[in-house]
Amino acid sequence: MTLPEADDEWPGRAWRGRLDIDQSLLTQSIAHSDLNVIRHARRSGGGGWSNPSSVADGFVVTPCLLPTRLAEVQFDGRTVASSVLVPRGGLLVYSMKSSYQVHIPDPFDAVSFRLDQALLDRAAQRLGLPSAPELSEPFLSTSDEVLVNLSRALLPALRRPAEVTRLFAGHVVDAVVFHLVGKSARVRTEKETVTRQPAEKVQAALEYMLDCPSDDVDAAKLADLCGLSIDQFNRAFKIATGIPPHQWLVGERVRRARELLAETTIPISDIALCCGFADQSHLTRVFKGHVGASPGAWRREARK
């Protein structure tokens, strides 16, 4: 039996009418559960904001086939991240319990899998787990070559669904589901190990970023300061602060900018550079996402 296209309403066809590649299929995974797969790509910039996603019980997992810059990410209308560079092979993982939107100004190419919670739980049971581990603690994960290669294996099926059998696509999709559940279970085990470590493990990184908020530091340097591997550091930092290091540093830069705006007459362009932003427009975009007003408007209001 050949493959039909995926549900036309999923995933809200995030950039309907604004894509160079808009391909989809509907196949069956574990226990004959329907599973939607979609590929969306733009060869030029200007995609802008995606349409708001629908709300359901499950996750959308999106391996990026190209490096992708997210200008802003919103959950339920609230900005949760800005200026994030997703590497080739990086995963965007969203809980469908929230309605999300992303702003992508540059070219992109990605494959998205809609994974219902019941499907993930059945896969977990087959792996000897009581239930599927949480997939989306951070919305963004590190590169996953296995998932990228499995996604690429589905590209011929996405281009020509009528020429590919459900059996082939189903086997590839099963591999995707089992890989995600198994990987998440390993991450949960490692996280529990990190949780038992003293909270002071990330203190050196916090102090460094407080002392040098304008520095662009990478995870490897911060992890080395704390005597942890990169994965251990990222999880320990999230446990200690509730957010990933990049978001914490951006928040610290915004906090410092607010102090300088309120307490000094330094030009906004100089404050932007002092606080680690590329320029005044970069500061304005991030500041407005966090505070809800531009730096100039916030300064005027703070001085009333």
Q: List the chain domain ranges.
A: 21-195, 199-242, 246-302
Of 106 and 217, the structure prediction assigns the larger pLDDT to 106
Give residue 109's pLDDT. Answer: 92
242: left (phi over 0), alpha (psi -120 to 50) or beta: left
Give residue 5's pLDDT. Answer: 44
**Which of 33-37, 204-208, 225-229, 281-285 is the least confident region?**
33-37
What superfamily in CATH does domain 21-195 come from?
A: Jelly Rolls (2.60.120.10)
Q: Is the pLDDT of residue 83 over 50?
A: yes
Give residue 123's pLDDT. Answer: 77
- With cut-offs at 50, 70 and 90, classify the pLDDT of residue 284: very high
Spelled out in words, what is the top-level CATH class assigned to the domain 246-302?
mainly alpha
Give residue 185's pLDDT. Answer: 61
Identify which of 124, 131, 255, 237 has the alpha carbon closest to the alpha carbon of residue 181. Answer: 124
Q: Is the pLDDT of residue 158 over 80?
A: yes
Q: Is the pLDDT of residue 272 over 60?
A: yes
Decide if 129 contacts 181 (C-beta within 8 A). yes
